[in-house]
A = this chain, B = another copy of it.
Amino acid sequence: MRTAYREQLSGLGARLADMCGLAAKAMDDATRALLEADLSLAEEVIAEQERIAVMGRQAEDTALKLLALQQPVAGDLRTVVCAIHIGADIERMGALAVHVASISRLRHPECALPDEVRASFAEMGKRAVLMAGIAREVLLSSDSEKASQMHDLDDAVDAEHRHLFTLLIDNKWQDGVCSAVDVALLGRYYERFADHAVEIGRRVVFEATGGLPDAKKLA
């Protein structure tokens, strides 16, 4: 019975890791679609979203079955409840990648990004995708050191996000209101995506160590 439980639990972790891999790919593709004004890639990201949502529902079903049939307690119980939260985090990451792709689609054939912020979004995208990749590995390994690597990346995303806002509000923005609005929302999507990745790492480490997690960042 306990062996079956362990197998189901690690199966659940593997499923969440797969979802996280899809969310990383979605943000990678969405970023390329954004930078290159690639309509078909943007539409692919939007179409793929349903896969993440379906996997999310399956993961939650597995978690419910684990709770009902194995009736875990203490640390095991917390692990399953963490998995439920993590599934919701990853679904949200997928939705944020879709938001990026949607802005890219909306502005096609134009590029939604003025030249002066392209490098910032390329950087934010690269780091956000890296973070989702690390979250995926942490889901498979529960490696707390790996999880802590996300903090520097998250700080870099936040710094880039602040830099964008400085550009937007310093009265020198030359690219018009519509583009400023796109840049502000896109910046927020990347920042939130990164926050969810950090949150996944935080939750996994919490369940692995049983220690108190750091306070959640209010973003």
Residues of chain A having any CB pair with chain B under 8 Å = 49, 53, 60, 63-64, 67-68, 71, 73-74, 77-78, 81, 84-85, 88, 95, 98, 165, 168-169, 171, 173, 176-178, 180-181, 184-185, 188, 216, 218-219
- A-B contact list, 18 entries, CB within 8 Å: A64-B78, A67-B67, A67-B77, A67-B81, A68-B73, A68-B74, A68-B77, A71-B71, A84-B84, A88-B88, A95-B218, A168-B177, A169-B181, A177-B177, A180-B180, A181-B181, A181-B184, A188-B188
| Nearest-neighbor residue (CB-CB) of A175 within chain B | B177
CA distance A73 to B67 in the complex (A): 8
The residue in A60, A71, A171 that gathers the most chain B C-beta atoms within 10 A of its C-beta is A71
Partner of A181, one of B88, B168, B171, B219: B168
CA distance A113 to B138 in the complex (A): 43
Contacts of A173 in B (CB 8 A): 177
> How far is the CB of A186 from the nearest CB of chain B, in Å?
11
- Decide if A181 touches B180 in the complex (CB within 8 Å): yes
Contacts of A60 in B (CB 8 A): 81
Contacts of A64 in B (CB 8 A): 77-78, 81
Count identical subunits in the complex: 2
| Nearest-neighbor residue (CB-CB) of A85 within chain B | B88
| Nearest-neighbor residue (CB-CB) of A78 within chain B | B64
CA distance A218 to B218 in the complex (A): 22
Contacts of A63 in B (CB 8 A): 81
Contacts of A71 in B (CB 8 A): 71
